[in-house]
Amino acid sequence: MKDLILSNAKIFTEGDIKEGGIAIDEGKIFKIAKEPNLPPASKEIDCNGNLILPGIIDVHVHLRDLDLSYKEDFLTGTRAALAGGITTVLDMPNTKPRTDTPEKFKLKLKKAANKIVCNAGFYSAIPENFQDILKITKLGAMGFKIYPDHPYSNFDFANDEQLDSLFKILKKTKLPIVVHAEKKDTKELIKKYKEEKYTDIEAFLKAHDFYSETSTVDRCINLIKQNGIKLHFAHISTSESVRRIIEAKSSGINFSLEITPHHLILDSDSLQTQKTFSKMVPPLRKKGDRDALWDGINSGFVDIIATDHAPHSLTEKKSNFLEAPSGIPGLETLLPLMLTHINKERITLAKFVELSSRNPAKIFNLQGKGKLSNKSDADLVVVDLKEKFKINSENFFSKAHHSPFDGFEVQGIPIMTILNGELVMDHGEILAKAGTGSIIKPQN
């Protein structure tokens, strides 16, 4: 007797859709087959002909908590993930306090263990003492995040000698190095442009222009060639970056990159209407940049779609434009937005699964995840591709009750989320209890 049968479903497996059901036992997929060929189970869920996908793996999430728990905490953030069909999140280290020592890394794991309701892994920032990198690696870090625009320590991304020392150690870990591709003088540039009488939005966009991103992309590509490091670009946003990335990958240089739904769907015109609710870094770009990102997906040069879920309180986002923090929530909008574009045939279902599940599992060493096959982890999401609704941030499980997508009509919604073989979200109701999620570590 197996634990669970999901019946009467369309199942995306091995690159194709098959009709039938899935037998699950002890947190693993036991068998995918037509219902008469499935073993008996103690529980059965009728999927009513809806589509089953691998659970989404979001490699770029800010769960906040600790001293920033008023913005989001490990419970609300992971509940938002389950609501959005996301079964695994990787949390960024720019918390308060920063995650940049073995002691702070252990503190975050301890705090998270009692709250999370999905799979959660954790990055580290670059520590003051580079020798701590190996200690943090042994504690289970998913990778190390570099912020050239906010160094956060004595580490200077522009210092070649420091970088050489850093990469020699990072290479030993075999973990991804995630880079926020922006130069570090944006605050000074905003001040300069304001003195030149540019508006707040104009000054912000000029300070975070395409060169801020592409100059960092160029530097990183050269570093990959010199050091052979495993590098991953976060939230690439400009057509010029895409062009240089395509050139580098075409020449055989190996690295990965992600893009976000908001950079795919919105453009800088949104800043004029949504103001601070569309403020993020990198900022929304021009329509041509947005089209280049789609071209990068469809030509096979983009590896991952990630949310960059970056929640802030409504009070903070209602501040004046330059004072308001950058970032928007994304965990509960990723699937509806992307399913809508699957319905519009802007992206294929196979490509979406590759970018949102299979590639994240492969690049970040998450064995058993990102696919629906025998013996893989039973992390999956059931979606209704036909249901239409309007996004309303007031209904978010996240503490961030705002979104530039408020009022967007979408077609496609996650209706059930299965985590480790257990039904944890059922038609908008979160069934998982605090602390029932799992802290995950890379499996090199």
State the 10-residue block means of pLDDT for the chain, 444 residues long.
98 96 99 98 98 99 99 99 99 97 98 99 96 98 90 75 90 96 85 93 95 94 92 98 97 98 98 96 98 97 99 98 98 99 98 99 98 98 98 99 98 99 99 98 88
Residues 6+ apart with CB under 8 A from 303: 232, 256, 257, 258, 355, 359, 363
Residues 54 and 413: beta-carbon distance below 8 Å: no
Q: In the numeric block, which tokens belong to residue 243?
A: 């062009």
Q: CB–CB of 9/47 below 8 Å?
A: yes
Q: Is 13 helix (H, G, I), strand (E, B) or coil?
A: strand
Q: Report pTM.
A: 0.98
Task: Retrieve residue 342's tokens.
Answer: 């699957």
> Token pair of 53, please?
């996908």
Residue 156: predicted pLDDT: 82
3-state secondary structure labels for all residues of 243-261: HHHHHHHHCCCCCEEEECH
Helical H segments across 228-325, by residue range = 239-250, 261-265, 269-274, 287-298, 314-317
Domain 56-371: CATH architecture, name and number where available: Alpha-Beta Barrel (3.20)
Residue 238: exposed, middle, or buried by beta-carbon count in 10 A (0-12, 13-18, 19+)? buried
CA distance 277 to 215: 27
Helices (H), 96-209: 102-113, 132-138, 160-173, 186-195, 200-207
Q: Which of 313, 333, 334 is nearest to 324 (CA)?
A: 313
Short-list 261, 346, 250, 249, CA closest to 295: 346
- Active-site positions read 308
Identify the bridge partners of residue 109 per DSSP, sorted by sequence position. none
Helix (H, G, I), strand (E, B) or coil at 214: helix
Tokens at 308, concatenated: 């960059």
CA distances from 144 to 100, 169, 178, 329 (A): 9, 11, 6, 22
Are 93 and 123 in contact, with CB atoms under 8 Å apart?
yes
- Distance between CA atoms of 328 and 357, rounded to whole angstroms? 22
Query: Cβ(76)–Cβ(332) under 8 Å?
Result: no
- Within 8 A by CB and 6+ apart from 372, the residues are 11, 12, 13, 22, 29, 32, 52, 53, 54, 380
CA distances from 61 to 15, 89, 152, 194, 257 (A): 27, 6, 19, 32, 15
28, containing H or E segment: strand 28-33
- pLDDT at 153 (0 to 100): 65
Contact 178, 210 (CB under 8 A): no
Closest CA to 440 of 103, 98, 140: 140
Q: Which amino acid is at 267?
A: D
Q: In Å, how far are 64, 208, 387, 420 from 168, measured between CA atoms?
A: 30, 30, 51, 37
Enumerate the domain spans of the chain.
4-46, 56-371
- Which residues pair with residue 145 across a beta bridge? 125, 178
* pLDDT score recorded for residue 86: 99
CA-CA distance, 424 to 87, in Å (whole number)?
Answer: 10
Strand duo 256-259 + 231-234: pairing = parallel
Tell me the C-alpha distance between 444 and 441, whole Å. 9
